């Protein structure tokens, strides 16, 4: 909304007052009348100049005109401009968010459908009832005031209706009613802004919101069933995706643990095989140096593994005298008497 300041000085009234005031002194002295008239003119001029002072509030802008031609845009603050009839100023709240209702009107809290605006034909030649709210503000005050006629009325309404009909007419009714409402809003906003910029309207579209999109009353129940079925399908798909998102991390974790265990087992087997190979090579080296001794040692080690828990003795016939000394592998030493004599 904008306000045009009215002139604060009524020249006809002031002229009439000075005439009546001067008539009182005309009979008393003709020499005083010119000074009186001069003072009156000065006072009128002073009041006229003073009426050019005005204030632009925060969030407002003022468009000034001189002899009907646009001059400047003034920002908030205390300003002065030529008063009427030489100059004019239009002060507009540019930050105010304005609202346009299309397809319905809300009066005293009750919404009333306007069928002439809401009934539209879709791309598959069906009829759909659409109600829309457009929110906008002013981005260029000069264009808003002087480039288009009735920017808040017929211009905005015609642009909004043209845009929504074009967008709805390019889609099937199922898409408009269900899955592509957001796309319809976005495309309508973009198309409205393009048209308004072509007109040089100075208007900025902030938001386009579909209040209601429905099929005609005769087939509305059938379309509602379709919508419910699609919503149920979407719900089931969402549940399946949630289950997938829950199970996949667990499966990945289990797979990672199996891989780690198998890798650890592989490393263990490689280390064991490497150790066995190194041990074999060392035994081979010793065997090549002393085959008989190494063979005897390997035999004894094998017997230790084959007969665990059994006391084993090493009998040496070379021990002095008739004595045979038994050397058990468990660390104890026992001596027995030769059956043929002696101890």
Mean pLDDT of the chain: 79
**With bands split at pLDDT 50, 70 and 90, how would you rate the model's confidence at 335?**
very low
Q: Confirm if 75 and 56 have CB atoms less than 8 A apart.
A: yes
Provide mean pLDDT across the span 5-26. 54
Q: Is the pLDDT of residue 222 over 80?
A: no
More confident residue, 50 or 315: 50
Q: What percent of the chain has pLDDT over 70?
A: 78
**Strand 334-336 versus strand 69-74 pairing type:** unpaired
**With bands split at pLDDT 50, 70 and 90, how would you rate the model's confidence at 236?**
very high
Provide mean pLDDT across the span 32-59. 74
Written as one string, the DSSP assignment of 223-243 is HHHHHHHHHHHHHHHHHHHHH
A 10 A CB-CB count for 14 gives 16
Query: Which residue shows structure tokens 């003795």?
Result: 313
Q: What is the pLDDT of residue 183?
A: 93
Q: What is the pLDDT of residue 321?
A: 45
**Torsions phi, psi for 139 (to 5 deg):** -110, -15
Written as one string, the DSSP assignment of 13-54 is HHHHHHHHHHHHHHTT-GGGHHHHHHHHHHHHHHHHHHTTEE
**With bands split at pLDDT 50, 70 and 90, how would you rate the model's confidence at 62?**
confident
Non-local CB neighbours of 336 within 8 Å, separated by 6+ positions? 324, 326
Provide mean pLDDT across the span 84-99. 85
Provide mean pLDDT across the span 41-63. 78
Q: Which two tokens stand for residue 323?
A: 């004595």
Q: Is the pLDDT of residue 336 over 60?
A: no
More confident residue, 275 or 339: 275
Tens digits of residue pLDDT in 279-310: 888 888 888 888 888 788 888 788 788 877 77
A 10 A CB-CB count for 208 gives 26
Q: Is the pLDDT of residue 3 over 70?
A: no
For 163, the enclosing helix (H) or strand (E) is: helix 156-169
Angle, CA 224 vertex, CA 219 and CA 230 arms, to 5°: 135
Provide mean pLDDT across the span 216-221. 71
Tens digits of residue pLDDT in 249-290: 999 999 999 999 999 999 999 999 998 898 888 888 888 888
Tens digits of residue pLDDT in 112-157: 888 888 889 998 888 888 999 999 999 998 888 888 888 888 899 9
Burial profile 270-309: b = 16 or more Cβ within 10 angstroms, e = fewer: eeeeeeeeeeeeeeeeeeeeeeeebeeeeeeeeeeeeeee
pTM of the model: 0.54
């Amino acid at each position: 909304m904008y306000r045009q300041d009215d002139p604060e000085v009524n020249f006809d009234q002031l002229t009439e007052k000075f005439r009546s005031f001067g008539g009182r002194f005309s009979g008393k002295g003709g020499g005083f009348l010119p000074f009186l008239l001069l003072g009156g003119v000065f006072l009128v001029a002073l009041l006229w100049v003073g009426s050019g002072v005005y204030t632009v509030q925060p969030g407002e802008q003022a468009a000034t005109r001189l002899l009907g031609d646009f001059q400047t845009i003034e920002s908030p603050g205390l300003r002065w401009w030529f008063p009427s009839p030489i100059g004019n100023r239009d002060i507009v709240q540019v930050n105010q968010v304005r609202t346009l209702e299309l397809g319905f009107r809300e009066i005293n809290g009750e919404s009333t459908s306007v069928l002439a605006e809401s009934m539209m034909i879709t791309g598959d030649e069906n009829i759909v009832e659409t109600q829309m709210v457009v929110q906008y503000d002013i981005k260029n005050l000069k264009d808003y005031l002087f480039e288009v006629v009735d920017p808040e009325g017929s211009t905005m309404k015609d642009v909004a209706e043209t845009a929504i009909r074009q967008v709805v007419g390019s889609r099937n009714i199922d898409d408009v009613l269900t899955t592509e409402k957001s796309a319809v809003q976005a495309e309508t906003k973009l198309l409205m802004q393009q048209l308004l910029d072509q007109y040089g309207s100075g208007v900025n579209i902030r938001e386009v919101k579909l209040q209601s999109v429905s099929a005609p009353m005769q087939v509305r129940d059938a379309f509602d069933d379709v919508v419910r079925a699609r919503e149920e399908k979407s719900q089931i798909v969402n549940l399946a995706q949630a289950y997938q998102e829950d199970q996949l991390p667990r499966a990945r974790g289990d797979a990672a643990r199996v891989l780690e265990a198998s890798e650890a087992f592989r490393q263990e087997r490689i280390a064991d095989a490497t150790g066995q190979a190194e041990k074999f090579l060392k035994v081979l080296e010793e065997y090549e140096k002393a085959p008989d001794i190494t063979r005897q040692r390997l035999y004894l080690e094998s017997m230790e593994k084959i007969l665990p828990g059994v006391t084993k003795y090493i009998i040496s016939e070379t021990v002095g005298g008739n004595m045979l000394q038994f050397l058990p592998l468990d660390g104890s030493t026992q001596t027995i008497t030769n059956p043929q004599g002696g101890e």
